[in-house]
Structure 1
Amino acid sequence: MSPENSHPDFLIVGAGVVGLSIAYELARHGHKVTLIDKNPIGREASWAGAGLLPPANAEQAWDPMERLRGLSHGLFPKWSEELKEETGIDNEFEITGGLYLARDPGEAASLRMACLQYEEEGVEVERLDGTEVSQRFPHVQSNMKILAAAWLPGEAIVRNPPHLKALEEGCRRRGVEVLPETEIVGWKFEGDRLATVVTKDGELSPGATCIAAGAWSQVLADQLLDQGNFTGRMQRPEIEPIRGQLVLLKAKERFFLAPVNEGIRYLVPRRDGHVLVGATVEEAGFDKSTTPEAIEDLANFARELIPQLAEATLVRGWAGLRPASVDRIPYIGKLPHLANVYLAAGHFRSGLHLSPATAVVMAQLMSGQTPQVDLEPFRVNRA
């Protein structure tokens, strides 16, 4: 399918989980939407992630990110059921609870502070000692010295690849024009409006455009601003790729139900006996390669934490590039000085989890409605 002479209401640039979700939500309300990506659909950081969904409470949260997370956390079960009914694709969403451990003094202090914030924001959390961990979670190594532990009953998980497939199919069924491997080569302006997006295959003339290209959003925004001669007129968004390496293990069966988290690392059990282990946090530019050291370290971490995984097979390792803003708060809003261009990127490690809420508030903003979450903290030109 060619974009030649296409005039959608909205153009979404980037078909990861955020872009797919925005297109899905806009189409829900009857808008004509085109979704493009220079690569195959949903194959970057969204596909590579673990699908962890930590709990949040939108009604009691005082932190802007937690308000957004709370909205998303409430939407995820509804979206998952809706997508399954519409497409027949099960994204394997389930509320499993989540175990958090700390064996290092610094991580223990961080976990205790996190528990305090959870309690202040109305999220159910149970603090545990080492004995309680051994009794309730016998699969966890019993002779570890645990300095702090917590159980979050509201934590959920989803399996990324089927979720992305369901979103893509849901978009198509709702009439979204989905154009993979469609690279942008230029932009045309009429005053402060982006009039035309030029691709290798033709031109698109949308009413409004949203850049949601993950780690590549910075590159696209820079190209747009430079070509439109907006240089110096606005503070540019700052988004950098942060590499995360992961490992997939295969046990004979699923013998534990809930994710186990320690610091930035985690183990996520799947229904079919696979266990996803992640993740590194590396500044490696746009290099998505894996390193033997990191893969070995993650596999050893999993087998040390859960001894039964010593018998599991190492299936493979891979890496994704998380889009991180400088302050680790996503950009969700309109590009200043441009009347019809928006940005939804920089979600760092929370892109999947925040995608339903990002889609809802972005669709409201782009449609001229008042977003149900205050987007001032997420504005593009914040200091």
Structure 2
Amino acid sequence: MAKQQRVVIVGGGVIGLLTAFNLAAEVGQVTLVDQSAVGQESSWAGGGIVSPLYPWRYNPAVTALAHWSQDFYPQLAGRLFASTGIDPEVHTTGLYWLDLEDEAQALAWAKREGRPLRTVEIAAVNEAVPVLGAGYSRAIYMADVANVRNPRLVKSLKAALQAMPNVTIHEQCEVLGFIREGENICGVNTVQGEMRGDEVVLAAGAWSGELLNSLGLELPVVPVKGQMILYKCEPDFLSCMVLAKGRYAIPRRDGHVLIGSTLEHEGFDKTPTPTALESLKASAIELVPALADAQPAGHWAGLRPGSPEGIPYIGRVAGFGGLWLNCGHYRNGLVLAPASCQLFADLLLGRRPIIDPVPYAPQGRIQGMA
């Protein structure tokens, strides 16, 4: 690709921001457009565990991206902190899974994949995590699992992009549709006018399917609502991430503890509900009984870009010159972002890809609508 190429990226979540970050040094101009403020949807709302919640339950295509990203995150965070002064806070605490039904599968997966997952006596867990609730009998543990403070990651990426002379960010700028000339997509129409580019990248998370509909394409990416709550505790209150019955507690470095998360199919409704609040509080108290005396300091909802098997769409859209996808990461956008965006840049720039791109290719996975 020529150095003077112009790339338009639709969507300013972590996927869109990191796509822009990876391309900026390689192309002439990057224009990033978001309908609200960057990173305010799924990227802001998630927990930031740098691992799929149950990695052994996923398709190998998801695992391949996750492994690459997990190893790369500390390096990415260090680079962003050095250039912006905003620390994304990659916090390596390890993760305990408690009373798993498929523990044998998890251990078999770890052995096959060479991941450091092992069984731990419950007494050792209670010693390592003194605030953990009673009543758990089995545990497995992975020591190198980190969490990233996703709102800080978003701020850091935005600051890094704003410092680049060939990057323009348009916030509060809704995309109305694509500019099409013959077989080619040459840009997007927005509420602020036309924005043209040689390549257009759709990285609009849960909204990606809606936008592709306008081209007669059916992309099976749908919004899946997730609600979370936040507690403010002492910095050393919870030493490690813990996960049981599909719910988790995540400690930040400063003592904030996140509890999540619900999975709800409610369309684009992001309203936090009293029902979810009570359910999350109950999970919090079951995991960490000391939280019974605390009031949540925050409660919010975000919309994940749900996709079949959680396998993202990364690559060129056949039949539409200049149109690319990097979307549909479902519950693992933060986990998969570094690998997804590196793979995407490799494909767009014609470089040798970091991993086999075939499982993520849109071709054969999206349909023309009748």
TM-score, normalized by length of structure 2? Answer: 0.92
Q: State how 1:330-341 maps to structure 2 within 5 Å.
A: 330-341=312-323
Distance (Å, rounded) in 2 between the aligned partners of 1:131 and 1:237: 48
One-letter identity of the residue aligned with 1:202: G
> What is aligned with 1:83?
80
The one of 133, 136, 143 equivalent to 2:128 is: 136
- Residues 208 and 300 of structure 1: CA distance in aligned 2, closer, same or farther (over 3 Å): same
> What is aligned with 1:315?
297
Deviations 1:45-97 (A, max 9, x none): 100000101289xxxx9922211111111211111000000000011112111
Find the residue that maps to 1:313 and give its secondary structure. Answer: coil
> What is aligned with 2:282?
300
CA contact (8 A) 1:8 1:205 kept: no
One-letter identity of the residue aligned with 1:160: N
> What is aligned with 1:361?
343
Distance (Å, rounded) in 1 between the aligned partners of 2:136 and 2:145: 24
Distance (Å, rounded) in 2 between the aligned partners of 1:140 and 1:272: 19
Distance (Å, rounded) in 1 between the aligned partners of 2:328 and 2:49: 18
Distance (Å, rounded) in 2 between the aligned partners of 1:193 and 1:118: 45
State yes or no: 1:194 paired with 2:185. yes
TM-score, normalized by length of structure 1? Answer: 0.89
Deviations 1:89-136 (A, max 9, x none): 01111211111112xxxxx23233123212210110120233332233
CA contact (8 A) 1:254 1:274 kept: no
State yes or no: 1:64 paired with 2:61. yes
> What is aligned with 1:281?
263
Distance (Å, rounded) in 2 between the aligned partners of 1:218 and 1:370: 28
State yes or no: 1:44 paired with 2:44. no
Find the residue that maps to 2:272 and give its secondary structure. Answer: coil
Distance (Å, rounded) in 2 between the aligned partners of 1:209 and 1:195: 7
CA contact (8 A) 1:12 1:23 kept: yes
Distance (Å, rounded) in 2 between the aligned partners of 1:251 and 1:62: 36
> What is aligned with 1:164?
154
Report the aligned-residue RMSD.
2.0
> What is aligned with 1:218?
209
CA-CA distance at 1:343 after TM superposition: 0.7
> What is aligned with 2:231?
249
One-letter identity of the residue aligned with 1:14: G
CA-CA distance at 1:193 after TM superposition: 1.0
Distance (Å, rounded) in 2 between the aligned partners of 1:39 and 1:307: 38
- Residues 62 and 311 of structure 1: CA distance in aligned 2, closer, same or farther (over 3 Å): closer
CA-CA distance at 1:8 after TM superposition: 6.1
The one of 198, 201, 208 equivalent to 1:207 is: 198
- 129-138 or 341-350, which moves further after superposition? 129-138
| Residues paired across the two proteins, number | 357
5+ residue gaps, structure 2, are 366-370
Distance (Å, rounded) in 1 between the aligned partners of 2:103 and 2:304: 23
- 291-300 or 213-222, which moves further after superposition? 291-300
CA-CA distance at 1:365 after TM superposition: 0.9
The one of 157, 163, 171 equivalent to 1:180 is: 171
State yes or no: 1:73 paired with 2:55. no
Find the residue that maps to 1:165 and give its secondary structure. Answer: helix
- Residues 194 and 135 of structure 1: CA distance in aligned 2, closer, same or farther (over 3 Å): same
Deviations 1:149-192 (A, max 9, x none): 11101100111111100001111112311111112223232222
Distance (Å, rounded) in 1 between the aligned partners of 2:171 and 2:246: 33
CA contact (8 A) 2:238 2:255 kept: no
